[in-house]
Amino acid sequence: MSLRTLLLCCCAASMAESWRQTSDPRDELPELHIAGLFHREDWQDILAFRAAVDRINMDKLVLPHVRLVPIVEIVSPVDSFSTGKRLCNITRQGVSAVFGPKSSETLGIVTSICETLEIPHILTHWETSPRPAKFQINIHPDPKSLSQALVALLDDMAWRTFTIIYENDDGLVRLQEVLKVHGPRDNPITVRQLGEGDDYRPLLKEIHNTSESRLVLDVSTERIVDLFLQARQVKMMGDYTSYLVTSLDAHTLNFSVVNSWITDKRNIANITGMRLVDPTSIDVQNAVQDWVFSERLRGNTINITPEEVKTSAALMYDAVHMFAKSLHRLNQTAPEIYEAPLQCDGFQKWEHGERLITFMKMTYSNPANEERGMTGLIALDPSAEYRRTNFTLTLVETNSNNATGTWNMTGIHLFRSVEEMERSEKQKLSKKLMRVVSRLGAPYLMKLDNWTEDSRNDGLEGYAMDLIHEISLILNFKYEFYLVKDGKYGSLNPTTKQWDGIIKDLLDRKADLGICDLTITYDRERAVDFTMPFMNLGISILFSKPQEPPPNLFSFLSPLSLEVWIYMATAYVGVSLLLFVLARITPYEWSNPHPCNQEPTELENTLNLSNSIWHNIGSIMQQGSDIAPQAVSTRMVAGMWWFFTLIMISSYTANLAAFLTVNRMDDTITSAKDLAQQNKIKYGCIEGGSTQAFFKNSNFSDYQRMWAAMEAARPSVFPKSNAEGVDRVLKSKRSYAYLMESSSIEYEVERHCELMQIGNHMDSKGYGIAMPMHSWYRTLISGAVLKLQESGKLAALKEKWWKQMHGGGKCQKEASAGEASANELGLDNVGGVFVVLISGCAFAFLVAVLEFILNTRKVAIEYKISPKEALLMELKFALRCRGTTKPVHPNRESTPSSADTQSVVQLNNFKRLVANPDK
């Protein structure tokens, strides 16, 4: 308490003792005494009480024929006997109304005396009795309505989780509506009692360790400043902490002292309060002038401003005016009220008391008679036991004393629009240096060659840095990156209930933002706040591509199985033999070889065995032949053979296209279900990440089976980083599959062409920017992310870091080349056809050589020359490559007498023709 306050208290006490000797110039008017029971520290209430009486006595429109006399009594807040004795002394002289006291220990005896003597009892403090006494009126706002105002304010500020710190049981009554509306399915709230003593730090440390940053304070005004001082010592006065103070006098505190404790003026906790007294109101300003003027008339000089007026003093001022105006109206409609001396131990009651208290209740419950005072509209609610429910509270940022809105029975009404509040938050953010925590992992964050521990932003690059840079351009703030020490994303230890990694740094307020490939999960979102996802993805499988089979020269045989080829060959031979046999049996295949001779001595059959074979091979090759069956039976066989070859060749052609243009790859697994149903291929995921938590907590049978297999695998299948997992897949030769986010798989597949993604997404999730819980700039950052998404900037950043930077797009080019080669058959695909062609030609050449040798032997025998001479002669003729005629060999039917001579002549002619075929 300040020196000025102590002096004023002493002055008030001394003036209270001498008040009965104070006279008024209008001594001729009848007097009505009103008693005020105050505690020694209620010096403002005493000023208000006396100033209100002085104002009424000077007002010619209110009680012009009656003079009010204030009786000020300083009573003990704990001594009810002394308080009752003093009140009885006052009633012996006569009193029209009793105001106060505040203390619950002495209130009971005062209420009992007033009820017994039927004296109006007017209260101006928080009173929680379920039903007020008959002769009692309390113009303090109704506790239930105040609690409803707190509920509306908490809802407007979107406080879903918070901690309540209360001082005594009355605080729980004030917060009853807050506790009622919080259902069992809502986020949990914590209720903690401040306790005795002046050291609040142990309690504050416990709250700080829970990472709670929103607190509702229901403590006496005198303890608020000390509580904030100790909160600063436990690091709970930063800009991530918000306080809602329920005291209606919090605005009277000197928060400039609180602000001076904070070295960084941009990082001060947000303290919100409510006030019933509006210092800017003309009624309040005029009343304060009355207080100063009233004390000056008594020879006292006080310095008080409207901002320092306490709620209880303003209520006392309004209560006296309320009593005076009600008495004035009653005197106009009924005989004037006079006082009578009353004995506390007697049987006499004040005859005007019941009529006066009833008239007061009826007057101020009528909307037509509502009055305005220092505390706004004064109205009593008959449906709520004549409590004051219709009032207005001003919402104040108490550390800056700026009014932000009002509350009344219709709800919250803010002074600033959403655009204005967003503009103010942007301005505040522009003055803040944002510390961004991340971890190394391509392409989100990577070290440059010049990176050192102190290089910060200059030694790092990646998608995360570009994203924060784009957001900073929109919101105009500065940022600084640093790497988390343990290199982890952040997981909750089920035993210690402690977080690690990036999440821990955010909880400890070491960082303002956390960004990398950080998945938004249920547990993490309960610990920190996230923006809207800047990238959507799901868990998938990274696996090695199967090796392509070696080229097969005879791949053209693949469309048909070996069994089919054997059956085709058998069918070919069988049908050829059948055609030959039927041609010899049927008479219609035997024809006249000389059509000019009508009576031939012999018939000829063209379907001999060689011709039958040639006919069928021509059908298979789709070329046909000049040999045609004549009989019905042979034509039926030929037709069935043609139908057979049509189907077989069509099927072969269709399958050949597929076999020659598509490389069959051995995909051992195609989905997560395939992984779960086999035990040859091991699989795992990064240790401590969201993917591991997904399998661990999944209720799906296949995923449960996979988690059991991963846990039981030895050696461990949980790498420490994604890079380690990818390297293991590359070296495992298709014996290990890695489960990771699809976006990271896309990045690796772009750079390692021997890797591929298998199966669809097992879940749906997103990467978000994390920040401490209840961060005031969360909406701004989310809005910036949404703006980047709508403008296509997020897609451009992903295109840059996935497909352009650091070897991106390599596999895409190879895939394009592979696609082009798939449309063009190479020699490896059709080489076997060339082998068959070359082999057939070579075999034909050998047959021709054999025929040539046999013919040479025949010529040597017929012409009776040596084989060598015949060979040279025939070879010389064949190699000339010109001429289209060749001499006929000697007739074997020549007569013996002339055979030798004729043979010599013909041989000479043959040699001459061989030497010169043109002649």
In single-letter form, the type of residue at position 844 comes to A
To the question of whether residue 671 is assigned a binding role by annotation, the answer is no
To the question of whether residue 519 is assigned a binding role by annotation, the answer is yes
DSSP state of 499: B
The rounded radius of gyration (Å) of the Cα atoms in the chain is 54
Cα→Cα distances 494→322, 470, 491, 688, 708, Å: 62, 37, 9, 12, 19
Q: How far is 701 from 202, CA to CA, in rounded Å?
A: 47
Q: Could you tell me which of 173, 261, 153, 256 has the C-alpha nearest to residue 214?
A: 153
Would you call 318 helix, strand, or coil by DSSP?
A: helix
To the question of whether residue 524 is assigned a binding role by annotation, the answer is yes
Q: How far is 378 from 137, CA to CA, in rounded Å?
A: 12
- DSSP annotation string for 350-402: -TTHHHHHHHHHHHHTSGGG-EEETTEEE--BGGGTTBB----EEEEETTTTE
Structure tokens at 832: 């076997």
To the question of whether residue 400 is assigned a binding role by annotation, the answer is no
Q: How far is 118 from 340, CA to CA, in rounded Å?
A: 12
Q: How far is 165 from 595, CA to CA, in rounded Å?
A: 128
Q: Could you tell me which of 303, 277, 369, 280 has the C-alpha nearest to residue 332?
A: 369
Q: Are 444 and 438 in contact (CB under 8 A)?
A: yes
Neighbours of 244 (CB within 10 A): 24
Would you call 217 helix, strand, or coil by DSSP?
A: strand
Q: Could you tell me which of 483, 485, 487 has the C-alpha nearest to residue 454?
A: 483
HEC letters along 706-761? HHHHHHHCCCCCCCCCHHHHHHHHHHCCCCEEEEEEHHHHHHHHHHCCCEEEECCC
Output phi, psi for 69, to 5 deg. Answer: -120, 115
DSSP state of 445: B
Strands (DSSP E) found in 260-322: 270-275
Q: What share of the chain is helix, strand, coil (3-state, %, to 5)?
A: 50, 15, 35
Structure tokens at 817: 């080349």
Cα→Cα distances 866→291, 848, 879, 880, 894, Å: 158, 21, 20, 22, 22
Q: How far is 667 from 19, CA to CA, in rounded Å?
A: 103
Cα→Cα distances 291→43, 45, 300, 323, Å: 12, 10, 11, 18
Would you call 884 helix, strand, or coil by DSSP?
A: coil
To the question of whether residue 653 is assigned a binding role by annotation, the answer is no
Q: How far is 515 from 870, CA to CA, in rounded Å?
A: 96
- DSSP annotation string for 855-868: HHHHHHHHHT--HH
Q: Are 366 and 356 in contact (CB under 8 A)?
A: no
Residue 90 CA, chain-centre distance (Å), reads 69
Exposed/middle/buried for 119, CB within 10 Å: 0-12, 13-18, 19+? buried
Name the β-bridge partners of 682. Answer: 736
Q: Could you tell me which of 652, 654, 678 has the C-alpha nearest to residue 667?
A: 678
Q: Are 152 and 181 in contact (CB under 8 A)?
A: no
Would you call 44 helix, strand, or coil by DSSP?
A: helix
Give binding residues for L-glutamate as ranges.
519, 524, 690-691, 741
Give binding residues as ranges.
519, 524, 690-691, 741
